[in-house]
Chains A and B, each alone.
Chain A
Amino acid sequence: MSEEKSHRGVHILPLRIYLGVGAALLVLTAITVTISFIHLGPFNLVVALSIATVKAILVALFFMHLLYDNKFYLLIFTFALLILGIFIILTLFDTMRRGDIYLEVAKPIQEQSEIYSDSTRFSSPEPEH
């Protein structure tokens, strides 16, 4: 079926786009589930999130019409994701880097001490990786 315009001039997407995107989403789901059983270490997360992002982009651009509508909606949606990203990243700057100062300052001292031979007493709260 070709593209149609309603008599209001609204852009109606052809059926094949909806069905095509739907099929793509199902295929991508199958792929992501299959890959999850292959052990890639930390890359499992990267791959899974990448595939999820592709799916999300398909839903947003086609089902939610962001590709066809006023680009302002796309802009604000992206902006919101940016703000969310800032929240997560700056918080991780805190949570993942606690204990830095202990590593720098306290650890050399405690390594030399006799009393605190149990070095976990003053080590950083998080296990070192």
Chain B
Amino acid sequence: MNAIPQTNYLTETRGLKSWLLTRDHKRIAILYLIGIAAAFLIGGIFALLIRLELFKPGGQFMSSDTYNQVFTLHGAVMIFLFIIPAAPAILGNFLLPLMIGARDVAFPRLNLASWYIYVTGALFAIYSMHSGGADTGWTFYTPYSTQTQTSVISLTLGAFILGFSSIFTGLNFIVTVHKLRAPGMTWFQMPLFVWAIYATAVIQVLATPVLGITLLLLILERVFAIGIFDPKMGGDPVLFQHFFWFYSHPAVYIMILPGMGIISELIPVFAHRKIFGYRFIAFSSLAIAFISFLVWGHHMFVSGTSELAAAIFSVLTFLVAIPSGIKIFNWLATLYKGSLTFEPPMLYALSFLLLFAIGGLTGLFLGTLAVDVHLHDTYFVVAHFHYVMVGGAVMAFLGGLHFWWPKMFGRMYNMFWATLAAIIVFIGFNLTFFPQFILGSKGMPRRYFTYPPQFTFLNELSSYGGFLLLTGFGIIFTYLIASLFHKKDRPGDNPWGALGLEWFTSSPPPTQNFAEIPKITHGPYDFDIMKPERTYTFTR
């Protein structure tokens, strides 16, 4: 019925070389999708190994040393290879030029280089798994990381290289937003996803270089024993933590900001209302980006920092919750008296609202200095960050993927399986991680391969949840891939009846994005002036 346009960015040129040498931001997004999906699989396998080992107390099938390697690699792969790149490099790359009416990002060749750098970093990480792994935790704390005989250098080099991919992507996006907006598009006519990606890019360019220097210093310390982190030589191991967290705290906002931008796009479409508080949401993205640089010390409350610094960081941490709270209120206000429909993207958006709220609020518990003294390095922390990273960022990413899938591929997935999978993922996720809040508050420490027997029941629940989550992800993966092979019943250009500029070119778009660059004379979500018709009725 609705045919895919004869030539689009997928079909216009063919052959492996046309993909590996592409400068098209849309193809680069797909290249990232493949790499990042593979990384998610690897990180996920490590997660399963963790939950298998923790199913019962005592060593199940791995030694404590092996367990240390497993959680280290789970963290390092998921953070550096999956969650930090995912939303910016896949959805950001695909959508940013479309949303601002440009033909590509500012530096297409740099964009491709970013992907190759990502792949190189990933290869270093994979190599390190074979050459001895790492057992330091993804945080590489000194003095252990300078002394352990595992393959710390290759893993940190991998992370160092991946940092450049992130920096160049951020640089590209900032210039794109400043310089390549369609004629007539002012800042306040940009969609909220673009604001979010812009704020993310600011963090990427400011914070990631500090990670670079941190990892470089760690490598120098290991190889040349320069003494910066070694107390025997007058150095300070806590200094590593300052350097490391100065990047890694803003990094968590790199993970969540694009997700928040996605939610700002999804909720209005499926609540059939315009977004409430556009400017508040836009400015809150910038506020989060700035304040995120002020709070890194809250990861170090029990590391031996001065009481003065700890108190200052605790107070500053409360500040960072405010802009996030503003967003939640605006999203809720958008839902209020909306006419809600519950397609899969909306299910993910609603999951996000609940799970991110829980994750964010528990972050405040941890930011409270006196409470953190008891909760630090327990499963409470593990639960908190999985609620924000998985319950928040991954849910938002899945919602975005499901929303823009027809835009990217001109195909729709099976609605029944997608709905079922969203519910399974929601239940599986909560079953996995909610017990961990309780475990943590009861004192179960993290990064241990065993635990006292009184924690067994909750750990079993958590492990069952992990398998349910795996099932959910497996279903998603299957029907998404299957959808690419659907021959008939194409969804058309705008299956959701959405109002953003990206929906007013064909799905999939042509390589040049738009036949003609539009002249913008109205707001970011006022394209209903052009009266979009929903081009797809869901029959499955």
Chain A: residues with Cβ within 8 Å of the partner, total of 15
Cβ-based interface call for B361 (8 A) = no
Chain A min CB distance to B354 (Å): 34
Name A90's contact: one of B239, B304, B312 (CB within 8 Å).
B312
Interface residues of B in 251-295 (CB under 8 A from A): 293-294
Interface residues of A in 29-70 (CB under 8 A from B): none
Q: By the criterion CB–CB under 8 Å, are A86 and B294 in contact?
A: yes
Q: Which residue of A lies closest to B296 (CB)?
A: A90
Q: Which residue of B lies closest to A124 (CB)?
A: B306
Interface residues of A in 59-90 (CB under 8 A from B): 80, 83, 86-87, 90
Q: By the criterion CB–CB under 8 Å, are A98 and B206 in contact?
A: no
Interface residues of A in 96-110 (CB under 8 A from B): 96-101
Q: By the criterion CB–CB under 8 Å, are B293 and A93 in contact?
A: no
Name A100's contact: one of B306, B312, B313 (CB within 8 Å).
B306
Chain A min CB distance to B1 (Å): 49
Cβ-based interface call for A91 (8 A) = yes
Q: By the criterion CB–CB under 8 Å, are B242 and A94 in contact?
A: yes
Q: By the criterion CB–CB under 8 Å, are B307 and A100 in contact?
A: yes
Q: A80-B206, A87-B210, A87-B246 are in contact. Are A94 and B294 (CB under 8 A)?
A: no
Report the Cα distance A90→B313, complex, angstroms. 9
Q: A87-B246, A93-B309, A93-B312 are in contact. Are A98 and B304 (CB under 8 A)?
A: yes
| Interface set of B (CB-CB < 8 Å, partner A) | 206, 210, 236, 238-239, 242, 246, 293-294, 297, 300, 304-309, 312-313
Report the Cα distance A101→B206, complex, angstroms. 34
Cβ-based interface call for A2 (8 A) = no
Name B297's contact: one of A90, A97, A98, A101 (CB within 8 Å).
A90
Name B294's contact: one of A80, A90, A99, A101 (CB within 8 Å).
A90
Q: By the criterion CB–CB under 8 Å, are B309 and A94 in contact?
A: yes
Name B309's contact: one of A80, A87, A97 (CB within 8 Å).
A97
Report the Cα distance A86→B313, complex, angstroms. 12
Q: By the criterion CB–CB under 8 Å, are A83 and B308 in contact?
A: no
Chain A min CB distance to B23 (Å): 26
Q: Offer 9 A-B interface pairs, CB within 8 angstroms, sorted by A.
A: A80-B206, A83-B293, A86-B294, A93-B308, A94-B242, A95-B306, A96-B306, A97-B306, A100-B306
Report the Cα distance A48→B57, complex, angstroms. 61
Q: By the criterion CB–CB under 8 Å, are B293 and A98 in contact?
A: no
Report the Cα distance A85→B312, complex, angstroms. 16
Q: By the criterion CB–CB under 8 Å, are A94 and B206 in contact?
A: no
Q: By the criterion CB–CB under 8 Å, are A83 and B206 in contact?
A: yes
In the complex, which residues of chain B have a beta carbon less than 8 angstroms from the beta carbon of A101? 307
Q: By the criterion CB–CB under 8 Å, are B306 and A94 in contact?
A: yes
Report the Cα distance A91→B240, complex, angstroms. 11
In the complex, which residues of chain A have a beta carbon less than 8 angstroms from the beta carbon of B236? 95
Q: A100-B306, A100-B307 are in contact. Are A95 and B239 (CB under 8 A)?
A: yes
In the complex, which residues of chain B have a beta carbon less than 8 angstroms from the beta carbon of A95? 236, 239, 306
Report the Cα distance A95→B239, complex, angstroms. 8
**Extra 10 A-B pairs, beta carbons < 8 Å, given A83-B206, A93-B312, A94-B308:** A83-B293, A86-B294, A87-B210, A87-B246, A87-B293, A90-B297, A90-B313, A97-B307, A98-B306, A101-B307
Report the Cα distance A55→B238, complex, angstroms. 34
Report the Cα distance A101→B310, complex, angstroms. 12
Q: A83-B293, A95-B236, A98-B304 are in contact. Are A90 and B309 (CB under 8 A)?
A: yes
Report the Cα distance A80→B238, complex, angstroms. 24
In the complex, which residues of chain A have a beta carbon less than 8 angstroms from the beta carbon of B308? 93-94, 97, 100
Report the 5 A-B pairs with minimum CB-CB distance, sorted nearest first: A94-B309, A97-B306, A94-B305, A93-B309, A98-B306
Chain A min CB distance to B86 (Å): 25
Report the Cα distance A96→B309, complex, angstroms. 10
In the complex, which residues of chain A have a beta carbon less than 8 angstroms from the beta carbon of B307? 97, 100-101
Report the Cα distance A83→B290, complex, angstroms. 9
Chain A min CB distance to B175 (Å): 11
Chain A min CB distance to B203 (Å): 10
In the complex, which residues of chain A have a beta carbon less than 8 angstroms from the beta carbon of B293? 83, 86-87
Chain B min CB distance to A89 (Å): 10
Q: Which residue of A lies closest to B307 (CB)?
A: A101
Q: A80-B206, A97-B309 are in contact. Are A91 and B242 (CB under 8 A)?
A: yes
In the complex, which residues of chain B have a beta carbon less than 8 angstroms from the beta carbon of A99? 306
In the complex, which residues of chain B have a beta carbon less than 8 angstroms from the beta carbon of A80? 206
In the complex, which residues of chain A have a beta carbon less than 8 angstroms from the beta carbon of B238? 94
Report the Cα distance A99→B306, complex, angstroms. 7
Report the Cα distance A87→B236, complex, angstroms. 17
In the complex, which residues of chain A have a beta carbon less than 8 angstroms from the beta carbon of B306? 93-100
Report the Cα distance A90→B239, complex, angstroms. 12
In the complex, which residues of chain B have a beta carbon less than 8 angstroms from the beta carbon of A90? 294, 297, 309, 312-313
In the complex, which residues of chain B have a beta carbon less than 8 angstroms from the beta carbon of A100? 306-308
Chain A min CB distance to B235 (Å): 12
In the complex, which residues of chain A have a beta carbon less than 8 angstroms from the beta carbon of B242? 91, 94
Chain A min CB distance to B229 (Å): 13
Of the listed residues A86, A91, A94, A101, the one surrounded by the most CB atoms of chain B closer than 10 A to its CB is A94
Report the Cα distance A106→B255, complex, angstroms. 43
Chain A min CB distance to B232 (Å): 14
Report the Cα distance A108→B396, complex, angstroms. 55
Report the Cα distance A90→B300, complex, angstroms. 13
Report the Cα distance A95→B304, complex, angstroms. 10
Q: Which residue of B lies closest to A87 (CB)?
A: B246
In the complex, which residues of chain B have a beta carbon less than 8 angstroms from the beta carbon of A94? 238, 242, 297, 300, 305-306, 308-309
Report the Cα distance A80→B293, complex, angstroms. 11
Report the Cα distance A97→B307, complex, angstroms. 8
Report the Cα distance A86→B242, complex, angstroms. 12
Chain B min CB distance to A70 (Å): 10
Report the Cα distance A96→B236, complex, angstroms. 12
Q: Which residue of B lies closest to A79 (CB)?
A: B206
Of the listed residues B246, B304, B306, B312, the one surrounded by the most CB atoms of chain A closer than 10 A to its CB is B306
In the complex, which residues of chain A have a beta carbon less than 8 angstroms from the beta carbon of B300? 94
Report the Cα distance A91→B462, complex, angstroms. 38
Report the Cα distance A90→B305, complex, angstroms. 11
